[in-house]
Amino acid sequence: MSVCHEMQFRVDSRDVDLFNQCRPSAVLGMLQESATQAALELGLSGPEVYEKYGCMWMVTRNWVELEVPLRWNDRVVIRTWHRGASGASSYRDFDLFRDGARIGQGVALWVLVEADSHRLYRMRDVGEFAGTDGGEACKNIRLRRLAMPPAFEGRHRRDMGYSDTDINGHVNNIHYADFACDALHLERLCQGKFVRSFQIGYLSECRAGETLWVDTAAQGDGLYARGMGEDGVERFDCAVTLAPLPPGQT
């Protein structure tokens, strides 16, 4: 039996940028909430996996691809499912629909870690995964670690604070998209374009009060950002691809 969760969102005024396009962080927020609600339906919400398995969820990579930009007041339906358990990780797939037509897709790679030690927990020991995957809907896309450019051209300082944090006390995953887009200056680069795709890898946790140095580069059709802590530890990496706006859109 395949299990898919469906959830509807509206792109509101808090989600759009100066070009009336839904920001990558807002798109990630929709995917994150739909994944959270899907896990709740399976009995695998954050509190439930902690109570049952002494674990917590961590997303290690996110990838999103859009065929067209999302605009203010668009109604977006997100359909999501998991691919089952494989070793210590599980993929979750997403399809995005507007007016009944699919206009985008996404993939997230999740792991369970033991709350005390942060050691990886074997997904095959999680009984709720059995028989609840997406079946034939499951995608074949695999998320590999990004190959970053050999050299970076720009550097942007980002001080993290209260408004960046989530329920776990860490910087919310969606905010790394903002960090990357700000450092890449999409307010300039997105003139006449939209974010066609992006991938973010979450490499090490960040907390309020810490400072990130975000290095940036352009290579071919790709824009790249890498967040480094003041301790020299790499915290996230990101790749963004822009595309011209569809005909008739500004």
Instruction: Answer yes or no: same fold for 1-143 and 145-250.
Output: yes
Is 80 exceeded by the pLDDT of residue 126?
yes
pLDDT in tens, 95-113: 999 999 999 999 999 999 9
User: Mean pLDDT across the stretch 126-136?
Assistant: 90
Residue linked to tokens 């509807």? 8
Closest CA to 11 of 3, 25, 2, 1: 25
Span 70-95, mean pLDDT? 94
State how beta strands 222-229 and 234-244 pair: antiparallel
The span from the CA of 65 to the CA of 198, in Å, is 7
pLDDT at 44 over 60: yes
What's the pLDDT at 98? 98
User: What whole-number percentage of the chain has pLDDT above 70?
Assistant: 99
Domain 1-143: what homologous superfamily?
Hotdog Thioesterase (3.10.129.10)
Spell out a b/e string for 208-217, using b for 16 or more CB atoms within 10 Å of the CB, else e: eebebbbbbb
**What's the pLDDT band for 1 if we cut at 50, 70, 90?**
low
Please provide the CATH number assigned to the domain covering 145-250: 3.10.129.10
* Residue count (the chain): 250
Give the pLDDT band of residue 221 (cuts 50, 70, 90).
confident
Residue found by looking up tokens 């399809």 in the block: 95
The band of 40, judged by pLDDT with boundaries at 50, 70 and 90, is very high
**Average pLDDT of the residues in 39-53:** 92
- What are the residue ranges spanned by the domains of the chain? 1-143, 145-250
pLDDT band at 75 (very low <50, low <70, confident <90, very high): very high
pTM of this prediction?
0.95
